[in-house]
Structure formats: C-alpha cells, structure tokens
Amino acid sequence: MNRLHNKVAIITGGARGMGAATSRLFVAEGAKVAIADLLDEAGEALAAELGDAARFYHHDVTSEEGWANLVAAVEADLGPVDILVNNAGILLFRTLLDTTLEDYEKVLNVNLVGEFLGIKAVAPGMIARGNGSIVNISSVDGMKGANGLAAYSSSKWGVRGLTRVAALELGHRGVRVNSVHPGGVDTVMTNHEGRSRDSVSERFRNIPLQRVGGPEEVAKATLFLASDDASYLAGAEIAVDGGMLTGHYYEGLPGAPGVSS
C-alpha cells in the first residue's frame, strides 16, 4: 500500500474500463488522481466515488491546447504532475481495404497522437523536477498483426516506437517511459454486449491462461511501472495478455488441454 503516496497522476480515458480500474488502484495506493475523459457522467461519478483524492476533467486527448489547459488545471488543483498514464484509446474492427482515410486518421489521432501530445505536455515539468513516470498503454496488437485491425494495430505499433524514443530522450533527464500491452480484456470497448466474463473467456481457450483478462489486472502492471518499484525500467514492454503472445494451443496435439503426451 501507499506505493504512490502523495503522487499526482493524470489518467486519460480514466472514466471507465482499464482507466477506471487504474484510477481506483492509484487512489488506493495513495495518489491524487486526475481522471481525464470525454465521458462526463461516468467521470464525475467515479470522482465522487473516490472522494477528495480524485477529480474529473473533461479532456480531448487530440487537442494540444486541451493538454496545456489540463496540465495547468491539475497543477493548480492537485499539484505538479508526477505520473501520466496514456490510456485513452478507441477500437475499430474493419478490414484494411474497407478502412477509409477518415477512419484511419481518427484512430491514429486518439491512440497515437494523443499519447504524443500527452508526453509533450507533462515532460517539461517532470524534467524540471528531475523525476517522473509515463506509462503508455499499447496492446498485444502493437506486437503482432491482427486481421480486421488495420488502424488499431498501426496506432499501437506506433505507441511502441514512441515509447522507446521517449525513453531514450527523457530517461537521462529523470523521466521513465514504459509501455503496457494488454491482450483480451473484459471492458465495455471489447464486450459492449455486457456478457459475463466466463462467456467472454470462451474466445480465449487456446491461450495459456485460457481466459479473458480483467481491467484490474492491467491496472496492477500499470501501477508497477508508475511506482518507484520500477525505478530501473525504461523502454520496457509488459504484455498483460494471459500468454497470448507466447502462442496458441493447437487442439488435439500433445500438450494441449485434455490431450496426453
């Protein structure tokens, strides 16, 4: 407990899903949290739930002016920003040939440009104080290809490259930059029908842990990277994916579930 005692954190997309789980965990660990999101009702409700340690800020991650205003407001309300979690993102299932330029640019603007602008907005203050942690939320689809995810995969591969460059340029100035790569996670974005977690897990029976992940499990990896426990990590990539990147079981072959060697 208290791994983030008196730290001030901005969490984008913080009103629901992985962002909300991260907001709750950070507050439990002693942080003051700025929940930044376009979802006003959900964001205000979460801030009210978390009490004095959290505030909601309406924020569009694609706006450079919006980022400047957000950082200024958070510093005035909560104090200098110690942690940025670039979590806001959107998902688009569409084949490459069916993806329009407008589709492609929208996904990149939120998922990649938004993180670029966030780093630029908080880094100067962190550098001036000689300390800070930035955690960029990418995806397993930033480490592999996936059909139907042309725009999304492109954006998440971009986040991976952005993270490494930022780690190189900011690490020697006291700012650690790392990335988290979730696999299948049970959130509104991926489970908009509201099915049970057990039901959603049926799609993941061929990965090592054989289930979908929970947003709270991703939040724990984010907490680690944001905290001083990760003081010697820069440019690290943590896959929170149930082993998805390790490979898939081939049904019926030795070593697969239910099959003897």
CA 198 to chain centre: 23
Helix axes 64-77, 114-129, angle to 10 degrees: 40
Nearest to 26 by CA among 56, 50, 42: 50
∠ CA 215-189-27, nearest 5°, is 35
Other beta carbons within 10 Å of 77 = 12
* Spatial contact of 97 and 148, defined as CB atoms under 8 Å apart: no
Phi, psi for 47 (deg, rounded to 5): -60, -40
From the CA atom positions of the chain, what is the Rg in Å?
18
DSSP string, 37-48: ES-HHHHHHHHH
* Active-site annotation, residues: 152
Residue with tokens 């149930």: 242
Phi, psi of 113, rounded to the nearest 5 degrees:
-60, -40
